[in-house]
Structure 1
Amino acid sequence: MFVFVFPSSLAVSAQEQGGAVEMQVTPLFGGNYARGKWLPLSIVLRNSGAATEVLVAVSIPNAQVRNTLTVNLAGGAEQRVVLYAAMDDQTRELRVSLEQGATVLVEQRLEVRPRSGERIMALVAERPLQLQLPLRQELFELPFLPLNQPLNELPDQLAGLSSLALIFFNDSDTSALTPAQLDALSAWVSSGGHLVLGGGPGAERSLAGLPPTLVAAALGPERALDTSFLGSYADAPPPAQLSGITLQPITGTLTFGPNDAPLWAQRDLGYGRVTQLAFDPSALGAWPGGPQLWDRLLIPPLIIRLPTGVEFSPDYAREQLASAAVLNLPTVNLPNSTPLFLLLAIYTILIGPGIALLLRRYDRQALGWFVLPTTALLTALIALGIAVSLRADERVISSVTLVEQVGDTVARARTFTGMVSPRDELVALNAPASALVRPLRAISGGFGSVEGLNGDIAQQQEQFPVPIVPWQLRGVFGDDLVEFPALDVQLTFGQAAIQAVVRNTTGRTLNAVVILYGEQLVRVGDLAPGEQVVKTWPPASGLGEGYPIGTAASAIVLADEREANLGVGGRLTREFLTRQQLLDAAVSRGSLDPAEGPLVFAFLESTPLALDFAADGAARNSTTCLH
């Protein structure tokens, strides 16, 4: 049976008039989203009046936080913008408003639909792609939800692709993709996405603009394909004939089918996968075995089963662990007490022998009743002034960052930051305009609990105010792709031993660099920019040494530091706990076993994605882990 895309089943577009400004809102992917992800909204603004500035805001009903975007509209202009809505688990409606100052020009509602454990698949094709997918009732789990997606509207933010389990390019000219779209696509695959590339006559167009990392095979001449292999993927006999192209797999690619002309090739990239077909998928439209083939072939590379549902990426688990690391707050900055001690010493000298000797010398002992109280009063006033001027700023800020390499020059950075203040205040948050920011997920830990925040969170804006509630840890986390040259790590095979060659090509100082594979650890140490270190792999170990199978990565990496970081009562220091939780977050895959590696970890002196509360004088700590 053919499954057609039916985005019109949802309220995918709404248009309203607000004075001289008209707004049309269309949620991408037909309003379907994976739980807790982002949903991009395509918004067209038409201004028939004079130049003006408007605010577009989106919120979940009854929520106290909004995602906003400020737009400068020229007179008589039409402008398309994309606003990202931070979704929860069950929302079926969004409220979008167009505002000017304190006036709401337009407010409208959009129907959206949460999808849990469904294979949301974007079909990017010049002509409608008809796949013979299995029906929902025919599958025990992971039903398909195919949605047509124009190439030019493919999100250029990783967050915009986060709801998708699969993206299928077929006879679509990918050379039209922008660098930002390609970076987002590469990062999406590395994070657990499955990219499928159609073959046949349109294969060259589908590969035209893709980087080598997203291609599994070079293209050869057209030929008739041997279809007998398809019989192992379905109960039906293979199709009698199938034409396609010859796939010439690159290094590290698995092929399926005859060696001289495979039917498809696959390569893994991070947690995700690229599948490249030799044939046009539409050619199997009449084959009865099509549903079984696509069910087995179009599978998410990573399936994480949690009590709350199924996830196709480790993002949720990592966000939970990283948010918990924010709870390791620094201690309050203590004031400099030296001026008070000096004042006390001077007062002691004066009130003791100093004034008495002075009055006796001038034979004015009778003035003692006035001089002594006056000196005490003046000293108290001076002490009060010093205490007020040197009083401690009781605000504390904690920030952690995970940096994950997703390309040769691009990394995904996620920064989690929280602040505690003794008073109600509105604090400016500085963030890169390209980063998407949302409230921290609520979580409790040994040092208290962390909450999100209320108010407006601006997008494409470098600073916006954040309301802080007294004595409550409130915070946000930001997600962005940043320019970050990849660390050069190679394993070389010699006659005597295997060597790990590590060269710091990041342009930053790297601290505590380690290489981990399973329970085998090599400590590289600190690396200055451009520095190279060669280590023997695996490390030599004696009888009875080493770590048991299944030992947590953080326990292995930080084993040598544990004793030195035991504080009063045998409690580990907060700095140690922060590094431990970041390492756990880096390898976490939810309910699945942690990633084994080989993995490279390092700690950076500064974060490439700074989310900074403008609070001068506040105590701060910041930890950044590269993995």
Structure 2
Amino acid sequence: MSKLGMLLLAVISLTGFAPPAQQTGTPAISLSVSAGYDGLFRENQWFPLLVRVANDGDDTTGRLVVRPDRSGSAFSNTFSTPVEMPAGSRKSVFLYVTARSYATDVRVEFINDQDVSLAEQSVSLRSVLFQDQLHVVLTQSTIGSVDLSSIHAGGYNAFQANWLVENIPDRVDALNAVDTLMFSDVDTGALSTAQRQTIHEWVASGGHLIVTGGANWQATVAGLVDLLPLTPDRSSTVNDLDALAKLAGADELRGDAVIASGMVLDTAEIVAASAEDVPLLVRRTWGLGTVDYLAVDPLAQPLRDWTGIGELWFTLASSTPPEPSWARGVLDPDRAATAVEVLPGLNLLPDILPLCGFLVFYVMLIGPLNYVVLNRINRREWAWVTMPVFIVIFSVLAWVVGFNLRGNTATLSRIAVVESWPDSDEARVNGLVGLLSPRRTNYTLTMTDGSTLRPVSRSIPANPFAASIQASTNIQQTDLFRADDFTVDASFIATFATSNRIQRPDINGQVSLFYEPPRDEEETGRWSIRGSVRNNSSETLSNPVILARGVSVALTDPLLPGDIKTFEQPLIANDQEPPAPSRLERTASESSARLSFSRFGRDTTFTEQTVRDIIGESAYSLRVYSAAPGRSAQDQETYRRQLLLSAMSQDQFLSTARGNDVYLAAWSDRMPLETELEGASWEPLDTTLHLVKLNVVVDHPAFSTHIGADQFTWVARERTGLTIDTAPVNTVLQPGDTVIFQFTPLPGSILREVDTLQVDLNLSTGNRLDIPLELWNWDTSEWEIIEMDQAQDRSTVRRQSIRNPQQFLGAHNSVRMRLVVDETVGFLRVVRLAIEQEGRF
């Protein structure tokens, strides 16, 4: 072989061992995405995308993006957050998004500063119905995860996500879709400060937190100690867990179990204890939420193989206090957006008289005046020149005048609802911001206090001046949320939803809830409230109203800074007042929430009782939902307030669901969230509603006490048949329908001894047939038929009183009732089905 051939062979051999060149366009960025709650989400509610980003190439900067043109129309606008990725780096980043219910997947992209997509990842999504329950469990147990699938109302479903600590978001709005959060055998010491703050805020807003003990109790409570009703400091072994079995309706639960023990807070309640009075389950309320501490590990024996564990979880969830009508935030986005678009004192159109005067002068000038002048100078042929000139002049003049009449200043119409609680240092704010643009231009709207921000998705704009800005809006997320560089036409309104937590306003009150014995000719006594409210804030609170169970008390004068107002009011419930739905019961159907019969003893405004109580009977009007606002600024403000209340509160199943709590509702004219607008100077137009939970002390009497129907909550354990959203109030049951209701007294209304149990059934018409009503006997685990006596012949009311009813009382004195409707009974129209009890605390 020649020297040249040998040289070529050597070169070829060496190049064969050279590493292959990196292909052009191969991205150095890779993504891994955990979407929502193991792929679950709720419509139009924030949910987290935990994006793990890896960079195996050179330094790069860019942004993580979810946009409608890649993820589909279920995402109505773009969401993005900036990311810096040095070479070889690994980062976990949260991106928060919202979607419509028909979203099936979400695609996350990494786009660099040159607008080139370097990587993308698509993950599946599944929407959870408003009526279904969503639970999140965090555990590091090698055995598996705790099963919370038993926590749901009859006829609906429960969904569960199993998370790691890193999945907990750093913004509370991303947890609002979750009903129950459980920490079991997991190291919560790994929670960041932001994650711990998120959990605190979520509980105060109405979440149900369950923390378990057992052998690994120290790691499990490490990051949650200040929330717990019991502060664990040691462990011990017990054999008696019968108190837990009783909560689940079982006979006994025995076996050695390691439990965590410690000091119980003064404000906490021991729900279950061993025979030696060792706490097994302790509960406290925090804001609107509930925290339960189970001292034993549910994944360890004897609970691991116990068949009653599902009933225990259901008992815990169904015995929490009811949530008030406004606890779920904005329930009707269309109505909320309409409230923002009502601008008291502002008129989007020019006055009619100047406009008519301008047109008359224009017609007179180019017609008669032009003719008279040209005729006098004998130059009528100049009309071919003067008329086009006048037209041009008046066109320019009209444009200049109209342009200047709109001015250069935008208007930010801002409304908010501030909820505060006496045991939390923070308050929750849900608000809307409407941007009225004087001319077509681009804006950037920033919430400078870290509030979330997103365009309001509306089905059909009710206002012709409402701007559709969703598709073109990019919601950029850093420490601040901002809507970047979106366009609004002249005299149109772009509406955004926002929310945050703020320092609790210094508005508070003390209330005593006490029971008065029966008076002359009264069969039962009555509950009353007595208390005071104090405004230590710098704001003037107008139209203050005290809200309690079944009543409202309007205070006569505004609450000025430093003012103290006292009140006293008996809680005289209507004889037909319904029990409150449990937190497990909710409906998204207006036809189900606004049921088919009139409200008992009140007019037919259905779910609007809370709205009427706050806005006032004299100011309330059904015409608000069908007519235009009035002419005066005061009428427009009232119109705006009622729309806001209607959008953010709903008395589901005809109950205001205030329980034993008492609230102050009052208005102010200052928005508590901070806003910045780029693109024009602006002026605010603010309306804020304060809903303050007052500190209530229940004074239990030593004598016999009556617990009325409005002091119970209810939940359907089973719904079988065609009837949807069956309730113990205003329901039509068809042949073949079966429903099981469970009634539980409110916390603070649980009697130590129950002497009498009364069952009331009110039908829409008199019926001579026997009603198939059964009660569950907890001793024999069987159903017993109850003979319902008619109050009088052909009466619509049937009633039965049971003395010494202990066999019908479950955990927390709960009563389980079954109705089975067959062809013999036919259609059964139930106006009200209720439980009452009498006994001693």
When normalised by structure 1's length, the TM-score is 0.75
User: Is residue 243 of structure 2 the alignment partner of residue 229 of structure 1?
Assistant: yes
User: Is residue 494 of structure 2 the alignment partner of residue 481 of structure 1?
Assistant: no
What residue in structure 1 maps to residue 650 of structure 2?
588
Contact 1:327 1:445 in 2 (8 A): no
> What whole-Å deviation, never above 9, does each CA across 1:1-45 have from its counterpart, x for those lacking one?
xxxxxxxxxxxxxxxx96343333332532222333222112233
Contact 1:266 1:274 in 2 (8 A): yes
What residue in structure 1 maps to residue 103 of structure 2?
91
Partner secondary structure for residue 217 of structure 2: helix
For 2:571 and 2:149, how far apart are their aligned partners in 1? 55
What residue in structure 1 maps to residue 510 of structure 2?
490
Matches within 5 A, 1:524-563: 525-527=557-559, 529=561, 531-538=562-569, 552-559=609-616, 562=619
Contact 1:509 1:528 in 2 (8 A): yes
What residue in structure 1 maps to residue 27 of structure 2?
19
When normalised by structure 2's length, the TM-score is 0.58
For 1:418 and 1:437, how far apart are their aligned partners in 2? 12
Compute the displacement of 1:301 (Å).
4.9
For 2:488 and 2:395, how far apart are their aligned partners in 1? 33
What residue in structure 1 maps to residue 195 of structure 2?
181
Contact 1:397 1:418 in 2 (8 A): yes
Change (3 A) 1:449 1:402: farther
- Of 46, 56, 77, which aligns to 1:38? 46
AA aligned opposite 1:477: A
> What whole-Å deviation, never above 9, does each CA across 1:289-311 have from its counterpart, x for those lacking one?
2333334435595899xxxxxx9
Partner secondary structure for residue 581 of structure 1: helix
Compute the displacement of 1:86 (Å).
0.8
For 1:506 and 1:152, how far apart are their aligned partners in 2? 38
Compute the displacement of 1:264 (Å).
1.1
> What whole-Å deviation, never above 9, does each CA across 1:460-487 have from its counterpart, x for those lacking one?
2445122336776542212222334452
User: Is residue 514 of structure 2 the alignment partner of residue 516 of structure 1?
Assistant: no
What residue in structure 2 maps to residue 14 of structure 1?
none
Compute the displacement of 1:317 (Å).
1.9
Contact 1:332 1:392 in 2 (8 A): no
User: Is residue 221 of structure 2 the alignment partner of residue 207 of structure 1?
Assistant: yes
AA aligned opposite 2:690: L
Matches within 5 A, 1:207-606: 207-210=221-224, 212=226, 214-219=227-232, 222-223=235-236, 224=238, 226-232=240-246, 233-235=248-250, 237-246=252-261, 249-258=264-273, 260-283=277-300, 284-298=303-317, 301=320, 314-317=328-331, 319=333, 321-330=335-344, 331-332=346-347, 387=401, 390-393=404-407, 397-405=412-420, 408-419=424-435, 425-432=441-448, 434-443=450-459, 453-455=470-472, 456-460=474-478, 461-462=481-482, 464-468=484-488, 473-491=493-511, 500-506=531-537, 508-517=539-548, 518-523=550-555, 525-527=557-559, 529=561, 531-538=562-569, 552-559=609-616, 562=619, 572=630, 573-585=635-647, 587-588=649-650, 590-591=652-653, 593-596=655-658, 597-606=661-670
Change (3 A) 1:422 1:279: same
For 2:133 and 2:139, how far apart are their aligned partners in 1? 18
Over the aligned positions, Cα root-mean-square deviation in angstroms equals: 4.9
For 1:136 and 1:584, how far apart are their aligned partners in 2? 33
Matches within 5 A, 1:115-194: 115-116=128-129, 117-128=131-142, 130=144, 133=147, 141-194=155-208
AA aligned opposite 2:650: S
Contact 1:55 1:71 in 2 (8 A): yes
For 1:256 and 1:155, how far apart are their aligned partners in 2? 31
Compute the displacement of 1:558 (Å).
3.3
Compute the displacement of 1:599 (Å).
1.2
Compute the displacement of 1:82 (Å).
0.7
AA aligned opposite 1:608: P
For 1:323 and 1:474, how far apart are their aligned partners in 2? 9
Identity %: 21
Compute the displacement of 1:286 (Å).
1.9
> What whole-Å deviation, never above 9, does each CA across 1:185-220 have from its counterpart, x for those lacking one?
2332233321001023433443343364x3223447
Compute the displacement of 1:168 (Å).
0.9
**Which consecutive unaligned segments of at least 5 residues does structure 2 have?**
1-24, 359-376, 378-385, 515-527, 573-599, 692-841
Contact 1:333 1:618 in 2 (8 A): no
> What whole-Å deviation, never above 9, does each CA across 1:352-388 have from its counterpart, x for those lacking one?
xxxxxxxxxxxxxx9xxxxxx9xx99x9899779736
Contact 2:151 2:158 in 1 (8 A): no
For 1:205 and 1:449, how far apart are their aligned partners in 2? 56
> What whole-Å deviation, never above 9, does each CA across 1:53-108 have from its counterpart, x for those lacking one?
31211145332522111223445543321101212213121111121233222233
Contact 1:32 1:113 in 2 (8 A): yes
Change (3 A) 1:30 1:58: same
Contact 2:330 2:648 in 1 (8 A): no
Partner secondary structure for residue 588 of structure 1: coil
Contact 1:410 1:486 in 2 (8 A): no
For 2:334 and 2:563, how far apart are their aligned partners in 1? 35
Change (3 A) 1:69 1:445: closer
Partner secondary structure for residue 485 of structure 2: strand
For 2:66 and 2:263, how far apart are their aligned partners in 1? 47
For 2:571 and 2:653, how far apart are their aligned partners in 1? 33
AA aligned opposite 1:209: G
Q: How many aligned positions are there? A: 573
For 1:443 and 1:525, how far apart are their aligned partners in 2? 40
Partner secondary structure for residue 325 of structure 1: helix
AA aligned opposite 1:56: L
AA aligned opposite 2:509: V
Change (3 A) 1:301 1:67: farther
- Of 80, 105, 110, which aligns to 2:123? 110
**Which consecutive unaligned segments of at least 5 residues does structure 1 have?**
1-16, 305-310, 344-365, 367-372, 542-546
AA aligned opposite 2:64: V
For 2:145 and 2:92, how far apart are their aligned partners in 1? 31
What residue in structure 2 maps to residue 607 of structure 1?
671
Contact 1:199 1:280 in 2 (8 A): yes
Change (3 A) 1:103 1:618: same
AA aligned opposite 1:111: S
Change (3 A) 1:446 1:82: closer
What residue in structure 2 maps to residue 347 of structure 1?
none
> What whole-Å deviation, never above 9, does each CA across 1:415-463 have from its counterpart, x for those lacking one?
2123455875432222237332222131568756965621222222445
Which stretch has the larger CA shift, 108-117 or 470-479?
Answer: 470-479
For 1:130 and 1:111, how far apart are their aligned partners in 2? 24
Contact 2:138 2:165 in 1 (8 A): yes
AA aligned opposite 2:455: P
> What whole-Å deviation, never above 9, does each CA across 1:595-615 have from its counterpart, x for those lacking one?
434111232332122455546
Compute the displacement of 1:221 (Å).
5.5
Partner secondary structure for residue 30 of structure 1: coil
User: Is residue 93 of structure 2 the alignment partner of residue 62 of structure 1?
Assistant: no
Change (3 A) 1:319 1:174: farther
Larger radius of gyration, structure 1 or 2?
2
Which stretch has the larger CA shift, 405-414 or 84-93?
Answer: 405-414
